[in-house]
Amino acid sequence: MDIISLRRANLRRAIDAKNKSEGFTSDAAFCERYDLNPSHISQLVKGHGSFGERAARNLEKKVGWEDGFLDRVDEATPQSTAELKFSNVQPSTSPLHKIPVLDFVQAGLFHECGYDGINPKGDTYTTYQNAKPECVFSLEVSGLSMAPEFNPGDKLVVDASKPPYPGCYVIAQNGSHEATFKKYRAIGYDEHGRETFELIPLNPDFPTMNSVQQEIRIIGVVVEHLRSFNK
């Protein structure tokens, strides 16, 4: 049982105990006595409302329960404290979206004219969402310029509709249609008011690129990083 489920179970038992000890005939009577919103309490008990740390502590204070009362693990709870503390993950409820896996050249074409369905390397899935799902694609890291944070074989999800911002990671392309993956650093503006920038490798053995010195076009911003621990 996770901490949210534990709070819901404890709240149900505590309300039942209050109803019995104070003669309340319903949960609504309990809520009226402690100036609580019956609809909100019903949602907390039934699992339809958010029951985070702040909500639990505020509810305890309002009813007069001691701090941490709703987080207690007792004999009525089929779980030990050790088991509760051990559980620090929960299933993801975010829907998966299918996206194409492109090579670097296709990624450049993708940004310029939209993905036209020509020979993707394959498909993958992401939970990332934006207003233009057709502008989201995946690439695989090649080379060591972004090591050790990003290694060869790591998968990236890229949003071609998202503008770059200082400190983000981007896929960029030069005038020869060669693509690279680097960290984006804004450095100023040119005479036309366009932002100038550097592309920074995380590996210091590789050179920094400068948009003032060479033609560079940002293809998209990296929004997800997936690494496999299989060797």
> pTM for the whole thing?
0.60
User: pLDDT at position 6, please?
Assistant: 86
Domains of the chain: 3-86 (no CATH), 97-226 (2.10.109.10)
User: pLDDT at position 84, please?
Assistant: 47
Q: Give 208-212's long-range contacts (Cβ < 8 A, gap of 24+).
A: 209/172, 209/180, 209/182, 212/187
Q: Report residues of the chain scoring pLDDT below 50.
A: 80-82, 84
Q: How far apart are CA 144 and CA 205, in angstroms?
A: 9
- Residues 88-140 pLDDT 10s: 666 666 788 899 998 877 777 666 655 565 678 889 999 898 888 889 999 99
User: pLDDT at position 88, please?
Assistant: 62
Q: How far apart are CA 166 and CA 187, in angstroms?
A: 9
